[in-house]
Amino acid sequence: MPIRTHSGFSITADTTLADDRHYDVIYIPALWRNPRAVVRQQPELLAWLSEQAARGTRIAAVGTGCCFLAESGLLNGKPATTHWHYFRQFSRDYPSVKLQTKHFLTQAENIYCAASVKALSDLTIHFIETIYGKRVATHTQRTFFHEIRSQFDRQCYSEENKPHPDEDIVQIQTWIKANCASDISMQNLADMAGMSLRNFNRRFKNATDMSPLQYLLTARIELAMNMLQSTNLCIQEIANAVGYEDIAHFNRQFKHKTTVSPGDYRKTVRAKMFSA
């Protein structure tokens, strides 16, 4: 039976909560105005969400739709976010949830919260990359999204990726980001941290889940991406500016990280910046 929305559109569902089906991703949309009354009138939906979460299905909610996840208990003791207008009410109604007011995206295992539709778009690109691979995700982003997307892992608060407590490594990370264009050796970094090279590599990997060299290369490519977007420097100049003397090596590293060449990346982001 079709469901008529407040805007007059009709939606015909092709399944029901009672159907035993596998889902790759479940999206929970935002509700108009105060969500409290609607959320608490849906016990069957709340139970179904808990069941799907237990199966490992990715569940993503946006804005006030995150209240369904909180009401079901799936966010107890876990990070979450919601629309900024409902921060105070959300904290009052769900005190056991770790509300992250400075993040547009949160992740706790297979449960995701997005504060806005734009953030949900970024999350969708992440899902596509996870399920279908980076090449398909990149093509989807370039084809269907008219504004520049933010990387999921840059803006998402995740239990798995929350800031680590190793202050010595944090200082090195900060220095690398500020000096990534310099000629940096791993031994120099170990000396700065006052550690042996072996111990430094071990502690850095434990803290960041990547080697110091991987972190340095990532910082250089991210700086190059910003420069391709915001400056008129040629690609050779940008390669030199982020620490690469060999432009061919820079091109390979950039494409390995982003799946597109520096030139194609610049065309894409410039077109999105200035398109109507």
Beta strand 98-99 pairing with 58-62: unpaired
Domain hosting 200: range is 167-274
- pLDDT confidence of residue 148: 47
Helix or strand holding residue 4 (H, E): strand 3-4
For residue 186, what pLDDT band results from cuts at 50, 70 and 90?
Answer: very high
Tell whether 119 and 219 lie within a shared domain: no
Among 124, 139, 158, give the residue marking a domain's end: 158
Residue 201 is encoded by which pair of tokens?
């590599």
- pLDDT confidence of residue 275: 40
Of the candidates 5, 153, 159, 14, the residue with the CA atom closest to the CA atom of residue 75: 159
Tell whether 67 and 122 lie within a shared domain: yes
Q: Is-above-0.85 flag for pTM?
A: no
Share of the chain above pLDDT 70, in %: 89
Mean pLDDT for 161-188 is 84
Residue 256: CATH number of its domain:
1.10.10.60
Tell whether 35 and 154 lie within a shared domain: yes
Taking only the tens place, the pLDDT of each residue in 105-159 is 999 999 999 998 888 888 998 899 899 988 888 778 777 765 545 566 555 666 5
Tell whether 247 and 151 lie within a shared domain: no
Confidence check: pLDDT of 273 > 50: no
Q: Write out the DSSP string of 190-228.
A: HHHHTS-HHHHHHHHHHHHSS-HHHHHHHHHHHHHHHHH
- pLDDT confidence of residue 149: 53
